Amino acid sequence: MRRAGVKIGVIGAGAWGTALANLLANKGLEVALWVFEQEVCADILEARENKIFLPGIPLSENIQPSNDLDQVAANKDMLLLVVPSHVFRSVAVRMVHHPTEKTLIVSATKGIENKSHLTMSGVLKQLLPPRLENRIAVLSGPSFAKEVAREMPTAVTVAARDPEVAREVQTAFATPYFRVYTSYDVVGVELGGAVKNVMAIAAGISDGLGLGYDTRAALITRGVTEIQRLGIRLGANPKTFMGLAGIGDLVLTCTGTLSRNWMVGYKLGQGMRLETILSDMRTVAEGVKTTKSVYNMSQNMGVEMPITEQVYRILYEDLGPREALQALMGRDLKHEIDEE
């Protein structure tokens, strides 16, 4: 997709959607960007800057913002969806009649629906005609929007059932500073990207309590175990969780202060109420809603996920962070490695 004239529709103009739109536009591709907020659309059009979600980054003239979803989604070679997971279905319903057999459909949203427990590719499979299922790909990995927008070296993974689709998306996004690997483990790549946000909240709580590096390291390591347990049950490749979409993204969001999910946890650890934290945020911390999905999945499937359980109890049952810590540390002693 390096050729001139390729048309791309990016659905969602938050920080990540804007950063990816700019990456593609700077490669000379024509990018239509669907913007929900009228003021954001006006800023991009007039000042070539997303002042609310990605301030300080000049945006390419190849980006054409619009509040008209149909206009952005129609007649495109690739559609990139980058909207919050809790509105993903409602937005996707409005544009699924536009893709053709040649359209690449890429999700860069990291989350799991609360009611259906579907990943974003699962939602797309429900909504799209069966003939388009193999045109779906997912993009994930350790990548903060601000750093990608500033062209800092970054490596991510794109997964698709069809190897050729994975390679097409890889070529579309690859730049000298944005290295893209391919994978065929769609389930594993999506789960890694979603569940790591739950662990980032836990790490933030730990840091907010002032518990130190030892505690954070333990949370990250045991977090990998929890993600892997759920992934294996759902048919993912265990090796995926040792890669960019697994441990890579997990380390980033559990240690980087640019992480919205880490910040939610940090403020919880300092004693703030969840309602107050969320009311002060213009952007979405996906881990808050994903925690509910993952906890319910683990309970329904009988998958042991103690960190997830305690984060759920803090978020939704008003458990104090120190009580949650005591519950984790007081569990029965056991062998470290899960026995299959």
Inform me whether the pLDDT recorded for 29 exceeds 70: yes
> Do the beta carbons of residue 29 and residue 81 sit within 8 Å?
no
* CATH class given for the domain over 194-329: mainly alpha
Task: State the number of CA atoms in the 13 A half-sphere of 226 facing the CB.
Answer: 28
Residue 334, judged by CB atoms within 10 A of its CB (0-12, 13-18, 19+), counts as: exposed
State the CB neighbour count (10 A cutoff) for residue 335.
6
In terms of Cα–Cα distance, which of 139, 272, 231 is closest to 239?
231
pLDDT digits (tens, 9 = 90+) for 201-251: 999 999 999 999 999 999 999 999 999 999 999 999 999 999 999 999 999
* 324-329 long-range Cβ contacts below 8 angstroms, 24+ apart: 324/205, 325/206, 325/209, 325/211
pLDDT digits (tens, 9 = 90+) for 174-215: 999 999 999 999 999 999 999 999 999 999 999 999 999 999
Q: What is the pLDDT of residues 133-148, one digit of tens each?
A: 999 999 999 999 999 9
pLDDT band for position 262 (50/70/90)?
A: very high
State the Cα–Cα distance between residues 82 and 120, nearest whole angstrom. 10
Give the length of the chain.
340
pLDDT confidence of 1, banded at 50, 70, 90?
low
Distance CA 269, CA 45 (A): 40
Residue ranges per structural domain of the chain: 7-184, 194-329
Look at residue 164 in the predicted model and tell me its pLDDT.
97
Q: Give the chain's mean pLDDT.
A: 95
pLDDT of 83 > 70? The answer is: yes
Say yes or no: do domains 7-184 and 194-329 share a fold: no
Q: What is the pLDDT of residue 282?
A: 81
The structural architecture, per CATH, of the domain 7-184 is 3-Layer(aba) Sandwich (3.40)
State the pLDDT confidence band at 285, using cuts at 50, 70 and 90: confident
The mean pLDDT value for 52-72 works out to: 97
Spatial separation of the C-alpha atoms in residues 185 and 281, rounded to whole Å = 33
Q: Measured between alpha carbons, how far is 279 from 273 in angstroms, rounded to an integer? A: 10
Which residues share a beta bridge with 134?
A: none
Q: From CA 201, how far away is CA 199, in angstroms rounded?
A: 5
- Backbone angles phi and psi of 133, in degrees to 5: -55, -40
pLDDT digit string (tens) for 301-340?
A: 999 999 999 999 999 999 999 999 999 999 999 999 886 5
Candidate list 27, 76, 110, 196, residue with the active-site label? 196
Is residue 196 flagged as an active site residue? Answer: yes
